[in-house]
Amino acid sequence: MSGRRPGAGAHLSAAFAHLFYRVITKGDLLQLIHPQFTYNAKLGWLIFVLLVIVQTIRLVDDMATPGCNAQKHVFAGCFYYIFIGALAICFLIPAGENAPKRPAVVNINDTNHIRLITAIYEDTDRFIDSEVSLKGFVFRPDGLQANQFMVVRFEIFCCAADAMPSGLIVEAPDSLAV
């Protein structure tokens, strides 16, 4: 059993379960998947936690019966270090320092429209007081205040029947003149 670290797999699995939990609870999950799939991710985390519990129980059983499992497992060399490195990167490097700097003007065009509109809606605080350049048409849906309007473009997902207006709400004191 030389070179084998009892419990390394259980510890790594528990660490990944904790990392997954942090991603789910901090709200960063929406940066990675569509909001429609958050329940699936939470269910996956729950199943993963159950597997960690099962693996921990098996580890305790293996440690309780010495000698029986001496040749049962073979340590795979650098295999665990790959996972340890990934965990170290996620836990030790703060995400804020790696975040891209906000540009002076956010130019929204044909190629980046969906990506930037989504980014602005998901992380609005990062774009407050930013100048945004967007070509589109003025749209006044019900529910907006008198000093608000939207600059929108149509997004077509599958066919023309799926076209939906997508854009940004603009607040201006003279918005009725627009």
Query: Could you give the percent of the chain with pLDDT greater than 90?
Result: 2
24-58 tens-digit pLDDT: 888 767 666 777 778 888 898 899 899 888 888 88
Looking at residue 136, the DSSP 8-state letter turns out to be -
- Residue 108 burial class via C-beta count within 10 angstroms: exposed 0-12, middle 13-18, buried 19 and up: buried
- Note the pTM of the prediction, 2 decimals: 0.45
Question: What pLDDT is stored for residue 31 in this prediction?
Answer: 66
Q: Which of 5-14, 15-24, 62-71 has the lowest mean pLDDT?
A: 62-71
Sheet containing strand 164-171, edge to edge, reads: 137-139, 148-155, 164-171
